[in-house]
Every structure is written in structure tokens, then in C-alpha cells.
Amino acid sequence: MANLNSTRLIESLAAEIGDGIYLDIAKWRLYLSNARLHTILAERLYPLMVDGSWNESNVLEVLRSIPIQLGGGRHELPLLELLPIHCQVDLMNILEEFQKNNRF
């Protein structure tokens, strides 16, 4: 039952991230849901939420750890490098609100 509950929470977190956070590429906004990056980000952030160890430093480290291939794999950048600063702030706000609503 706990596994089913955590799956639902991860899906819920992924939906919030996917709808609110985007990559900025040449002034184009590619939302993480469209880039199919929202779920992997939620899966990596969720354990930090559960054990209460999430903070700005840990979230930035997660963003650094997700490689994004560009140009058909010719180049690779960490997800952090493709997010505007305000999206990083918005992500922190999403996580804070998510934690409040789910009482980890």
C-alpha cells in the first residue's frame, strides 16, 4: 500500500513540476512535461522530500545530475544549465508547497 501511495505522490509531484518548470532554449520554453523530464526529476526529488533532507543545495545537485542531450547527443548539459533562475525558484516553491500539502 505504501508503494502505491508513493507512486501516486511521485506522479502528482511530476505533474506539478511538468506544468510549471521549463527549459529555456533560444528564448523557447520547453516545459518539462513536454520534454518528458518531469517524472525523472520527481523520482529523484521525492526521496529528499520523504526524509526531509531537501534544501536548495540538494535540489541543485539533483538538477546537476540529470544530463540533457542536445544535437542528437553531440552535446550534453546538466538540466540545471537549461533552467532559468526563476524556474529554479519556482521549483523550490513547488517542493515547499508539496511538502506542506503532503505532510512528510
Q: What is the pTM of this model?
A: 0.91
Angle (CA) 99 102 104, round 5° = 65
Spatial CA neighbour of 91 closest among 47, 24, 48, 41: 41
Residues spanned by the domain of 35: 2-102
pLDDT of 52 reads 85
CB 29 within 8 A of CB 23: yes
> How many domains is the chain built from?
1
Q: Minimal CA–CA distance to 97: which of 12, 11, 5?
A: 12
* Tens-digit pLDDT profile for residues 18-75: 999 999 999 999 999 999 999 999 999 999 999 988 999 999 999 999 999 999 999 9
Chain length of the chain: 104
Contact 45, 54 (CB under 8 A): yes
| pLDDT at residue 104 tops 70 | no
